[in-house]
Structure 1
Amino acid sequence: MQRKLALALAFVVALPAATVGVTGQLNSHGIEGNAAEPAVAQTDDGSNFTRLYVDEQYRSLTLKPGESESIEVSVENGEDEAVTVDPHVYVPKAGQRPVKEEWVSIDTGETSLDAGETLTVNATIAVPEDAQLGRYSGAIAFNNETINYPGQPAHPVHTASLSLDVREDPTVTVTSGSYGTAQVQSGETTVHEIVVENDGDQPVPVNPQIETNDRIHYAGDFQPLEASWFDIEAPAEVAPGESETIEVVVAPPEDADRGRYDAVIDLGLQDPARPDDRDHWQRVDLTVEVWEQPAEPFETDFEVAEDTENATLTLTADSPDGSDGPEPGFDVTLVAPNGTEVDAERVRRTDSGHVSLGADRRAVRTDGDYADHSGEQQFTYRIEDPASGEWSARIMPENTIQFGYEITRDES
């Protein structure tokens, strides 16, 4: 049975440090004391808590309806005399959804624990077939001592907290297009495709909705995409055992300001195997970079010495992950010192990328265990035996909103 060891448990009973065997003098702000000589934690009336030390105070389980799993929890008696422990289920009175007491069975009842002795308790958590999906919290308490904090209900002192996630295997998945970036010229269109697969036994309705500036916080230089720029073509539902493609057409008008725009598409999918309050899996992040094609080429000058054998111009165009649309390119003209225009010959084209073996939500192209991130393309132009003097390179970009250039000269 799978067990997840969570670093931060979303549904764990919040207990102060003293409740898990850390001792110290207790006041209204928490626990203080000398680490070398810890004092016994006390209640408001001055009485002492029993010194019980619970091992592995936090447990996180993931189970399907109808499944069960057993855990072991150890408690040590730190007193100089025998104490009575009574392991039982504690259900929080406030906070997250409480675990059902009848789901937890403990193999040890009330028992006497000698000084310095350790007791190992076996608890079995059994989720019934009709259990509601979601996260539950609870705890195994070892006696009836409790502690109060202002504004909070009383908590047991000596516990092992439980976080239980009841879930089924997902039946509806977004198999591609869950994240997308596109570059589009103002007045043009770009299409982003989203593929949804239904492995369940009942049809799943599809109801895409655009979430823009009224529901999303934007950081940096991102702006909200206008809902009027969208046209979504989607089926009414995804039939059992089938997959469907949703097409998102983004058409910024000719007067749209250039820049980066962002939106979230809520696909409106309901997976019977997922809790209703967790719908992030079917929300698509879409980033669109709007640009304007310049009327004139970019121009830069460079010097050529008399002993130069050739001059090479290398242009680099970025290809963002998940970029839709035509590939970038360039129209290049080199101008000699005497004003003659030379059509440079493109001698090389290079594609580069990056492959990740780790999970990455931005990866949109996959092949088995490999996530292939597109990187950049390089275009190399060369002229042989260039005349000495000042040259100019005129570069007209096509289908790219940014590029880099490098000019090298091989000298004899």
Structure 2
Amino acid sequence: MNVRTLLTLALVALLIAPAATAYAPGNSTPAQTQGEPAALATDGAQNGDAASASQERNYTRLYIEEGYRSSEVKPGESTTFNVTVGNSEDEAVELDPHVVLPQVRGRPLAKSWVSIESADTTLAAGEERTFTVTVSVPSDAELGEYRALVAFTNETVTYRPGQPARPVHAATINVEVFEEPTVRISSDRYYRTQVQAGDDYTYQIEVSNTGEQAVPLNPTLETQETRRRYPGSEQTVERSWFEIDAPSEVAPGETATVNVTVSPPESASVGDYNAEIDLGLQDPARPDRGDYWQQVDLHFQVWTQPDEPFETTFGVSDDTESASVTLSTGSPANDRSASFDVTFVAPNGTTVEAERVRVTNDGHVSLGGEGPRGESQGPYTSHGSQKEFVYRIDDPAEGQWTALIMPQNAVDFQYEITRDEN
């Protein structure tokens, strides 16, 4: 072969390659198919046979609406999918609905589980037809995710060398075979509280088992020190602060309690801490690949009781008839009653014991929403509560006053000072 012939073949190859565009399987809109990129190989095309390759790359112009279907189904039951196929050709197309099992990833869906409606497989030009695909799962099927392709022609495409050919006109069917869980955490999975340094707090985690066999229970602690730290993250909690008391299993039809007690020492630094309890449960009705459902997050804030009161100053005019301080606090630490000792210091340095004149509780309730962590609380959802204390003195002298506020079991509080004038 001379040089001129080689140059001619090279020019032909360059002209053909840019004009080729592959049909994307699963497209939801009709597409004119001109062929396939030169890097792709198709069934029936032999290397060096340019005419044959060009012919094979002209795919039938069909489209699949919503090329991905998924559903959940229990063993022994069935589920159906509706797959719509459209014909963009100028003539009728004979369809061949059949199941193709994936060879690249995913657990294959057994062909014997799938049946496809095939009463009329002739699709006229410009026509659409919906096929019903039924997946019947046997009662002894293993739990997990299964996948298959429902192809409507025998045309295939290979995207990369060495990979198996895939159908050009196909819908993906994804089925999750599941059972209703028999083991549940019946209490909260997200805890947030405050613990005074040198004190302790016990979390009670309830685990229920509605199954017919005992379930092992092996709670373990994961602390921040075993995770990847990042700037600004919570303090590192010590494993020695925790004690876990739990039975070794949850009997069928019973509820077990896991007691997790955290005891930060008096020397513990104040701040936020995180820990996680992995209950070590194995639910026969759940796939082994997911264990997030049996993990409990513990978030707590360590605080210390101050030795000296909080001080703030305010001015009093000659027209002031009374002065009051209003103190507001949220949920008390360790579920104990919050309180305050309030003393006023007059401009001349004398102290005046404030009289507590009012205590108020308030909260926010929603009839159409979820709780602060997304949990359902029935028809009424509480979004937190607050307690308010009012302390007052009458006929204060004109000048600069000081309010001394000592909190008890109140990790945080707000204050407001009011002067009533005549």
Q: Using structure 1 for the length normalisation, give the TM-score.
A: 0.85
Q: 1:285 to 1:376 in 2, by over 3 A?
A: same
Q: 1:134 pairs with 126, 134, 144, which one? A: 144
Aligned mates of 1:144, 1:361 — CA distance in 2:
53
Q: Within 2, Cα distance between the matches of 1:350 and 1:280? A: 41
Displacement, 1:173? 1.1
Match of 2:391 among 381, 387, 410: 381
State yes or no: 1:268 paired with 2:257: no
Q: How many residue pairs were aligned?
A: 381
- Over 3 Å counting, the alpha-carbon distance change for 1:186 and 1:119 in structure 2 is same
Change (3 A) 1:168 1:298: same
Q: Which amino acid aligns with 2:304?
A: E
Equivalent residue for 1:7?
none
CA-to-partner distance for each residue in 1:226-256, whole Å, 9 max, x for gaps? 2211001112222122112211100112221
Aligned to 1:404: 414
For the 8 Å contact 2:29–2:63, the answer to whether it is kept is no
1:318 maps onto 2:330 in alignment: yes
Alignment of 1:15-30 (within 5 A): 18-21=24-27
- The answer on 1:394 being equivalent to 2:401 is no
Q: Mapping of 1:288-367 within 5 angstroms?
A: 288-319=300-331, 324-355=334-365, 357-360=368-371, 362=373, 367=377
Q: Does 1:259 align with 2:271?
A: yes
The answer to whether 1:91 aligns with 2:101 is: yes
Which shows bigger deviation, 115-124 or 366-375?
A: 366-375
* In 2: Cα distance, 1:361 partner to 1:128 partner: 41
Q: Is 1:168 aligned with 2:179?
A: yes
Q: Give the match for residue 238 of structure 1.
A: 250
Give how far 1:316 is off: 2.0
> Which of the two has higher C-alpha Rg?
2
Query: Aligned partners of 1:17, 1:121: CA distance in 2, in Å?
Result: 22
Tell me what 2:8 maps to: none
TM-score scaled to structure 2, two decimals?
A: 0.83
Q: How does 1:117-128 map to 2 (within 5 A)?
A: 117-128=127-138
Whether the aligned pair in 1 keeps the contact of 2:28 and 2:64 (CA below 8 Å) is no
By how many angstroms is 1:125 displaced?
Answer: 0.9
CA distance in 1, matches of 2:156, 2:317: 87
- 5+ unaligned residues in a row in structure 1: which ranges? 1-15, 25-37
Distance in structure 1 (CA, Å) of the matches to 2:374 and 2:341: 31
Judging changes above 3 Å, is the alpha-carbon distance between structure 1 residues 378 and 328 closer, same or farther for their aligned structure 2 residues? same
* Alpha-carbon offset, residue 181 of structure 1: 0.9
Q: Is 1:227 the equivalent of 2:233?
A: no
- 1:403 and 1:61 map into 2 onto residues whose CA distance is 50
Aligned-partner residue type, residue 112 of structure 1: T
**C-alpha distance in structure 1 between counterparts of 2:151 and 2:398, whole Å:** 87
SS at match of 2:107: coil
Would you say the 8 A contact 2:370–2:377 is kept in 1? no
Matched residue SS, 2:224: coil
State the 1:54 CA deviation.
1.2
* 1:204 counterpart = 2:215: yes
- Residue 73 of structure 1 is matched in structure 2 by 83
Q: Separation in 1 of the partners of 2:35 and 2:361?
A: 69
Q: Percent identity?
A: 51
